Amino acid sequence: MSNRTRRELFADIGRGMIAASVGTAFAHDLGFATAFAADEPARLTFGDLDPLVNFLQGTPPDKLVSAVITKLKGGTELKQLVAAAALTNARAFGGEDYIGFHTLMALAPAFQMSQEETRAELKPLAVLKVLHRNASRLNDFGATKETLKAVTPGKLATNRGGEQLREVTRKGDLAAAEATFAAICANGKPEDALNELMVEVDDATEVHRVVLVSRAWDMTRFVGTERANTMLRQSVHYCVNVEKNANQAKYNAPIREQLPKLLDQYKLVGSKPGTKAADDAWVLRFADTVFKSDAAQSADAVAAALAEGISADAIGEALSLAANQLILRDDGRPKAWASAGKPEGSIHGDSIGVHACDTIHAWRNLASIGDRRTQVTSLILAGYQIGRDRANRAEFLKWDAYPRTEHSEKVKGLPADSLLKELDGAIRDKDQARAAALTARLSETSNSAKDVFNLFRTYAISEDGALHAEKYYATASDEFARARAAFKWRQLIALARVTASAYGYAAPAHKEACERLKA
């Protein structure tokens, strides 16, 4: 007779129940293992998307552009390729590789850019750029690399799965964290799984931790909510790896202590969302308060505003404006921070401002789709992040925002009908100050921002962008759309600076893609 324990027996029964309810093959597609404990973890499969996933995983970067264009001409939709690329990336890198997860985070923004393009022959360009980046990173590791495997759901000790997930994550126990999150996913709706995952994610705040979960959730629009587990478990891997760094635990200790105190002090968990409107003056004052405060003070200010009943949208807009200042005021990278493709004075790529804007954009998105707990913790942590990021360079409080007076003086006499052409020239000259001043002039003379966005999008696609061009373009575009009329163009002025900073570093395979598309 077998010597299997009762725990092993019931674990196998649990796996059998999942397989019986959805089918063995589909259980693997959802990311759940059905094999016995002694077996090797099953390969993660993706059902009807498997052929495209295997195509992308097996096509080398030097052949990818041509092969993808052939697929498109054969009837494959761009959205299908984005979905397959997300699954290819997730299975290969699992949220553990820096370039890998940056590539995943760029997929939905690239598709957004393709949808904005009016010329049919140009629509695939942004997506092709990111697909090529994905293929290049896969090639670096070997096309057979697979980080994510099908996982067996564990057992939830209570109905507070998020707290259990946070506990095992803090211990750096990846196997337990994976099993816990799989159980969370198996026991509820994808939206519930996201909210439970956020208990782990909001245990700290930094750009990749936050943007990864936001963009992973965004990808469920492409891969389907039934594959939310595959998308979201990348954050489990990321957060567990962070906990293995003792310095990170020390770095995150202050907010781990402050956040639960704020939730209790202001009685925010379980409270009803605020509905109080805020005028433009309040939004500006609150943005200024957050920008000038330290991290703890900023977090407290947000918690107090939530308790007062100010709407989450108004608070979020103020936070977006505060983060925007970290681009508008930035004097550029000091020499000590410069690197290849990101020289002294540049602000594109992983600059403090771009990172802050992408992070606050992600926190706002999570606040808008999660439950009340996710909403309040996301906004509090967004405030904390701005205060901490601003403190990284004390000079932010001394620097004036672009365009500065001397920049504006140089363009004030230019004819209105020449401004867009002049802006194009400023970008090509890598002149951030002039680009910002010209965009500010356009805000006064143009009835539409469409032509300006079209110009910036062209360069977000043609230039490399140091892994951040697509994401930040989407951030600026979304925040522009959300903002009140009085504040909209601040986002475009910041994007003008970043676009000029990033010019001159051509995106790999862009020229080939243009030639093959006859663009």
**Where do the domains of the chain lie?**
47-141, 161-243, 249-397, 405-511
How far apart are the C-alpha atoms of 425 and 427, rounded to whole Å? 5
Contact, 500 vs 463, CB < 8 A? no
Q: Is the pLDDT of residue 21 over 70?
A: no
How does DSSP assign 39-91, residue by residue? SPPPBP--GGGHHHHHHHHHS-HHHHHHHHHHHHHTT--HHHHHHHHHHHHHH
37-46, 139-148, 157-166, 456-465: which is most confident: 456-465
Closest by CA position to 360, among listed 206, 190, 200, 492: 206
68-121 pLDDT, tens digit each: 999 999 999 999 999 999 999 999 999 999 999 999 999 999 999 999 999 999
418-469 pLDDT, tens digit each: 999 999 999 999 999 999 999 999 999 987 899 999 999 999 999 999 999 9
250-276 pLDDT, tens digit each: 999 999 999 999 999 999 999 999 999
Work out the widest C-alpha separation in the chain, in whole angstroms. Answer: 92
Q: Is the pLDDT of residue 284 over 70?
A: yes
Contact, 419 vs 436, CB < 8 A? no
pTM of the entire structure? 0.92
pLDDT tier at 13 (50, 70, 90 boundaries)?
very low
pLDDT tier at 281 (50, 70, 90 boundaries)?
very high
CA triple 203-204-208, angle to 5 deg: 125
Q: Is the pLDDT of residue 513 over 80?
A: yes
